[in-house]
Amino acid sequence: DVKVTQSSRYLVKRTGEKVFLECVQDMDHENMFWYRQDPGLGLRLIYFSYDVKMKEKGDIPEGYSVSREKKERFSLILESASTNQTSMYLCASRGGSGANVLTFGAGSRLTVL
Amino acid sequence: RKEVEQDPGPFNVPEGATVAFNCTYSNSASQSFFWYRQDCRKEPKLLMSVYSSGNEDGRFTAQLNRASQYISLLIRDSKLSDSATYLCVVRGVKAAGNKLTFGGGTRVLVKP
């Protein structure tokens, strides 16, 4: 089974801090995604990457950046965390162009004080 | 209008009963459709894909109505363990990545 691992399950940060959320998948998937999930708003796509060093903005990229230096690792960066970025962050990966199934990590719950 | 819309529920279902709910999508060019299940405080997991002719997986039946732009999920003989949030997912036609868009989820509570 594909495994998607998010390094931190719970984080508490202060406003203005730089935050790194790491995600690693072990099945050589091309596509990786970062979502945030908020009550009443569902899952919203922040950024995705379809190859090493490639990235595309999702629906809500403002305040975030990403890095994909290696195929298995996709990092989400909050340059200056704000309280409205308190959320559950979910990383997912998916195989090649013919694949449809997203496999999610367990999520990282970030609280910004 | 949201791209993918679901009734948030909750649908309170007696154990053993049947429950059905829909998901509407706005882009008529959408290509693929899925139901994901998310348990409380857990990550979403694929429940089933939705095929044009409709498909069944045990007690779960999924259907697609392209003319009216909705998909449905029906759960027969509900079990307590079916309590979860069911997320409708639509795959559009877009450049690299073929973005998957999630609905807000429908919460189902199965009660004894």
Cα–Cα dist A8/A90, whole Å: 11
B101 pLDDT above the threshold of 90: no
B73 pLDDT above the threshold of 60: yes
Q: What is the mean pLDDT of chain B?
A: 91
* pLDDT for B93: 66
Query: Measured over all CA atoms, what is the biggest interatomic distance in chain A, rounded to whole angstroms?
Result: 42
* pLDDT for B96: 41
pLDDT cut 90: percent of chain B above it? 78
Tokens of A90: 């979910």
CA B72 to centroid of chain Cα atoms: 6
Which candidate from A31, A58, A106 shows the least CB-CB separation from B43? A106
B33-51 tens-digit pLDDT: 999 999 998 999 999 999 8
* pLDDT for B109: 98
Cβ distance B96 to A50 less than 8 Å, yes or no, reads yes
Question: Which residues does chain A have with pLDDT short of 70?
Answer: 1-2, 96-99
* pLDDT for A100: 72
B110 pLDDT above the threshold of 80: yes
B84 pLDDT above the threshold of 50: yes
* pLDDT for B98: 61
Q: Strand ranges (DSSP E) for chain A?
A: 4-6, 10-13, 19-21, 23-25, 31-38, 42-49, 56-57, 65-70, 73-78, 87-94, 103-104, 108-112
In a mutagenesis test of the B interface, which of A89, A90, A102, A108 is the best target, namely the one with the most B β-carbons within 10 Å?
A102
Q: What number is the average pLDDT over the span B21-39?
A: 93
Residue at token pair 């679901």: B6
Which candidate from A58, A101, A104 shows the least CB-CB separation from B43? A104
Q: Strand ranges (DSSP E) for A58-104?
A: 65-70, 73-78, 87-94, 103-104
* pLDDT for A111: 97
| B13 CB-near residues (< 8 Å, 6+ apart) | B19, B75, B78, B82, B108, B109, B110, B111
**Which residues numbered 31-90 in B keep a CB inside 8 Å of some CB on A?**
32, 34, 36, 42-46, 49, 87, 89
